[in-house]
C-alpha cells in the first residue's frame, strides 16, 4: 500500500518531490530544477524527514556538479548552500559529504555521482525494511504504540523508520493499534502520519500532543516508537520537538521508549546531545495554523524544531543491523564497526 507513491525521484526536469506542505489535502509533486531549488525545498520543508532530506541533498549535489562544470569553487559553494539548508538532521551533512567525497574520488564524473545519489535512495529503503523487521522483536501481539511527528515513507525514501516498524507489525498480523501525536506546530502527525496510517489501514487515532500523558498514565500505551534526526555517540537523540517530553512521561510510567533510525542518522562525531545544533524556525509557524493567525501578530515566540532525548530515557535504538541497547556509547561503536548487537 505504501509503495504507491514516491517521496522523491530524479527526472530529466530535476528532482521531483511530493510537496509535503500540501498533504493531506492534495497529493501534488513539485520539481526542483536547480541545486538552489533543492536547498530551498529542504529549508521550506517541501521535503522533510531526516533520510528524505539526505536523499534530496544527494541529488542536489549531482545537480550542483552539472551546473558548475569545471568550476570547483562554484561546486563547493553550491554544496555548502545545500549542506546548510537545515542544521539538525545529520543525514543532510552525511549525504552531502558522501557525495563530495565521491565526486573527488571519481574524477567529478556526473554519471558516477548520479549513481551515488541513486545508491543513497536504494540503501535507505533497504535499511528501512531491515530495521522494521528488527523492530518486531520489541512488539507483542495486540500492543498499542504511540508515535510522534512523521517517520514514515514520506520522511524517508520509502517505507519509513518508526512508522516502518509499525507497518511491518501490522502486516505481520500482530493486531497493533496506534496513537499518533498531532505534532504542533507543523502538524506532521496530523497531516502526514495520519495520512500514511489511513492508507495502510492500520487502526489508529490522532491525539492532541498534550493527551499523551493521560494515555500513558491510564495504561493505554504499551510502547513508544519515534524516529530520529541525529543520534549522538552516547545515544542522546534529537528528534521532533515533544519527543523529550514523551520520554520523560514514558519513564515515569515504565513504558518502553524506542528510537528507530538507520545508521546514517548516528553521528559518531557528535559526542552528546548538548553538541547537537537545534534548529529554531519562524515565529509564524506557532502564531499561525495553515496561514490563519491564532495569536497576536507581534507576540514573541520560541520555536525550536527539535529537542534532545537523553540516552537514559531510551530503551533501545532500532537499526538495520539490529537493536542497540545500553550502554549506548560502546554498543553504537560496535554496531557501526560491523559487529552484531
Helix, strand, or coil here: 43?
helix
Q: Which stretch binds ligand MRU (CB under 6 A): 44-52, 94-102, 117-125, 326-334?
A: 44-52
In 3D, which of 237, 181, 224 has the Cα closest to residue 205?
181
Residue 33 neighbours by CB distance under 10 Å: 12
Binding of residue 305 to ligand MRU (CB under 6 A): yes
Provide, rounded to whole angstroms, the least separation between the CB of residue 132 and ligand MRU. Answer: 11
Binding of residue 237 to ligand MRU (CB under 6 A): no
Which residues are part of the catalytic machinery?
Answer: 229
Contact 221, 185 (CB under 8 A): no
Q: Going edge to edge, which strands form the sheet with 14-18? A: 8-11, 14-18, 29-32
Binding of residue 120 to ligand MRU (CB under 6 A): no
Contact 7, 156 (CB under 8 A): yes
When the beta carbons of 121 and 155 are compared against ligand MRU, the nearer one is 155
| Cα(94)–Cα(100) distance, integer angstroms | 10
Binding of residue 134 to ligand MRU (CB under 6 A): no
What is the pairing mode between strands 257-260 and 223-226?
parallel
| Cα(265)–Cα(249) distance, integer angstroms | 25
Binding of residue 135 to ligand MRU (CB under 6 A): no
Contact 10, 16 (CB under 8 A): yes
Residue 257's DSSP bridge partners are 224
| Cα(18)–Cα(4) distance, integer angstroms | 12
Binding of residue 230 to ligand MRU (CB under 6 A): no
Q: Which stretch binds ligand MRU (CB under 6 A): 27-35, 77-85, 106-114, 147-155?
A: 147-155
Angle at 10 between CA 7 and CA 13, to 5 degrees: 120
Phi/psi of residue 177, nearest 5 degrees: -135, 165
Binding of residue 267 to ligand MRU (CB under 6 A): no
Binding of residue 223 to ligand MRU (CB under 6 A): no
Q: Which stretch binds ligand MRU (CB under 6 A): 4-12, 55-63, 132-140, 223-231?
A: 223-231
Binding of residue 239 to ligand MRU (CB under 6 A): yes
Contact 190, 206 (CB under 8 A): yes
When the beta carbons of 21 and 114 are compared against ligand MRU, the nearer one is 21
Binding of residue 147 to ligand MRU (CB under 6 A): no
Binding of residue 7 to ligand MRU (CB under 6 A): no
Provide, rounded to whole angstroms, the least separation between the CB of residue 147 and ligand MRU. Answer: 9
Contact 95, 52 (CB under 8 A): no
Binding of residue 276 to ligand MRU (CB under 6 A): no
What is the pairing mode between strands 292-293 and 144-147?
unpaired
Binding of residue 131 to ligand MRU (CB under 6 A): no
Contacts of 118 (CB under 8 A, 6+ apart): 10
When the beta carbons of 161 and 331 are compared against ligand MRU, the nearer one is 161
Provide, rounded to whole angstroms, the least separation between the CB of residue 298 and ligand MRU. Answer: 25
Provide, rounded to whole angstroms, the least separation between the CB of residue 86 and ligand MRU. Answer: 7
Q: Which stretch binds ligand MRU (CB under 6 A): 54-62, 107-115, 151-159, 166-174?
A: 151-159
Among 132, 188, 193, 319, binds ligand MRU (CB under 6 A): 188
Number of residues that bind ligand MRU (CB under 6 A): 17
Q: Which residues bind ligand MRU (CB under 6 A)?
A: 48-51, 89, 149, 151, 155-156, 161, 188, 227-229, 239-240, 305
Amino acid at each position: 500500500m505504501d509503495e504507491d507513491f514516491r517521496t522523491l525521484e530524479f527526472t530529466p526536469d530535476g528532482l521531483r518531490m511530493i510537496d509535503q506542505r500540501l498533504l493531506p489535502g492534495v497529493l501534488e509533486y513539485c520539481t526542483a530544477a536547480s541545486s538552489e531549488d533543492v536547498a530551498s525545498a529542504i529549508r521550506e520543508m517541501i521535503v522533510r524527514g531526516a533520510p528524505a532530506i539526505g536523499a534530496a541533498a544527494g541529488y542536489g549535489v549531482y545537480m550542483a556538479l552539472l551546473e558548475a562544470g569545471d568550476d570547483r569553487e562554484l561546486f563547493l559553494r553550491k554544496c555548502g548552500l545545500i549542506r546548510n539548508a537545515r542544521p539538525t538532521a545529520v543525514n543532510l551533512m552525511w549525504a552531502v559529504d558522501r557525495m563530495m567525497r565521491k565526486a573527488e574520488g571519481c574524477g567529478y564524473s556526473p554519471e558516477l555521482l548520479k549513481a551515488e545519489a541513486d545508491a543513497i535512495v536504494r540503501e535507505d529503503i533497504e535499511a528501512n525494511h531491515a530495521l522494521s523487521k528488527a523492530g518486531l522483536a520489541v512488539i507483542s501481539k495486540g500492543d498499542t504504540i504511540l508515535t510522534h511527528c512523521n517517520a514514515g515513507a514520506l520522511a524517508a525514501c520509502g517505507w519509513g523508520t518508526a512508522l516502518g516498524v509499525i507497518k511491518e507489525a501490522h502486516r505481520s498480523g500482530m493486531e497493533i493499534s496506534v496513537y499518533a501525536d498531532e505534532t504542533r506546530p507543523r502538524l506532521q502527525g496530523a497531516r502526514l502520519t495520519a495520512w500514511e496510517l489511513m492508507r495502510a489501514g492500520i487502526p489508529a487515532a490522532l491525539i492532541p500532543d498534550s493527551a499523551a500523558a493521560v494515555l500513558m498514565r491510564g495504561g493505554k500505551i504499551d510502547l513508544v516508537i519515534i524516529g530520529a534526526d541525529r543520534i549522538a555517540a552516547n545515544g542522546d537523540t534529537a528528534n521532533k520537538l515533544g519527543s523529550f517530553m514523551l520520554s520523560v512521561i514514558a519513564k515515569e510510567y515504565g513504558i518502553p521508549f524506542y528510537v528507530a533510525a538507520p545508521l546514517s542518522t548516528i553521528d559518531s562525531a557528535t559526542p552528546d546531545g548538548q553538541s547537537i545544533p537545534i534548529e529554531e524556525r519562524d515565529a509564524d509557524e506557532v502564531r499561525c495554523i495553515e496561514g490563519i493567525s491564532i495569536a497576536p501578530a507581534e507576540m514573541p515566540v520560541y520555536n525550536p524544531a527539535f529537542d534532545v532525548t537523553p540516552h537514559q530515557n531510551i530503551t533501545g535504538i532500532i537499526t538495520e543491523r539490529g537493536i542497540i541497547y545500553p550502554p549506548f556509547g560502546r554498543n553504537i561503536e560496535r554496531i557501526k564497526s560491523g559487529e552484531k548487537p
